[in-house]
Amino acid sequence: MENRLRIVLEAMEWVGTPYHHQARVKGVGVDCAQLVAGVAENVFPRLKPINTPVYSVEWHMHNREEKMCDLIESFKCQRIELEDMIAGDILTFQFGRVQSHMGILINDGQFIHARLDVGKVVINQLSGMWLEHLGRAYKFPGL
């Protein structure tokens, strides 16, 4: 099966998982960074383990360190132009001072991400507020 399809299908399996800050257990709890790391580990087992830095829920409001982008780049994802993103790519969003939220594009207009305000992993349209805050896109290693 093509890796991009595997990424999308794996991300879909996380939909409905409750939001839990810094957790990474499918069906039990996950946040946005751990969702991307969990998908990466499950689709690309050679990447295990992906270690994430400790971060507070509000770190992006007071710091300029790009922790989310550093995490993505730590497992060899490559930054791409926004106009080149396709299903299976990682999206980052800037809220506060830095890129502080992420998800996975599943088709031309939708992405999966763990939302604190909703309390679980959901699918959203890449429009409105999400499109306004879209900052970067990355592709997984080897794609």
Is residue 22 left, alpha or beta, with left meaning phi > 0 and alpha meaning psi from -120 to 50? left
Q: Which two tokens stand for residue 138?
A: 């990355």
**68: phi then psi, degrees, rounded to nearest 5:** -65, -45
Q: What parts of the chain have a pLDDT lower than 70?
A: 1, 56-64
- pLDDT value at position 60? 56
- pLDDT value at position 59? 61
Predicted structure pTM score = 0.92
